[in-house]
Copies of this chain bind each other. A is one copy, B any other.
C-alpha cells in the first residue's frame, strides 16, 4: 500500500475540479488539457504524469461518483421502487453539475456501459431467464439503466422542475413496476 504523496492527491483533485468547472462553462468537448492545467494551477506536462488523456480523468471522476451512488442504493429497501427512485433523484439533484458533465461527455451507450460495469451490475439481481419471459435478463438490466439515465436527462433539461419524490414515482411507474409485472425483480 503506497502511502500516496500529499502533493499527488492535491494535484489530482485540482485537475478533477478544473475539468468539471470548465466543462460546465464551455462544454466538455471543447475543454483542452491546457485549459485544465491552467485552471488547476498545474504544469501542463504534469497532467500526463497522472492521466493518459482527458477521458481518463473523467473516468476517474465517474468511478468515484458511481461508487458513492451504489453505496447509497445498497442501503435502500428493494421492495419500494418509488423510494429507491427518490433516493436516486435526490442524489443526482444534489450533484447535478457533475452529472450534467458526465451526461454530456460521451456517447450515450458508453456512459451506460460504464455505469453498468462501474458498480451497478452487482445491484441488479442475477436471475435466470424466466421460462415464459420475453426478454433476457441482461436486456432487462440494460433497459432499466438506460431508461433511468434518460429520465435524469429529461429532468435536467427541464430545469429539475419536478421534485425528487415525484421523479421517483415516475421512475417506479415507467420502469420498475412494468418489469415487476413481467416477473423480473430488478
Contact = CB atoms under 8 A, between A and B. Distances in A.
A101 to B, nearest CB: 11
Interface string A148-162: 011101100110000
Interface stretch (A39-47, A89-97, A134-142): A134-142
A111 interface: yes
B107 A109 contact: no
A174 interface: yes
How many of chain A's residues touch chain B, expressed as a range?
A: 35 or more
Tell me the dominant secondary structure on chain A's binding face.
helix
A170 B108 contact: no
A153 B138 CA distance: 13
Total identical chains: 4
Contacts of A105: 107
A104 B104 contact: no
Contact of A108 (B111, B157, B169): B111
A157 B138 CA distance: 11
A34 interface: no
A53 to B, nearest CB: 12
A138 B153 CA distance: 13
A67 interface: no
Interface in A117-157: 134-135, 138-140, 142-143, 146-147, 149-151, 153-154, 157
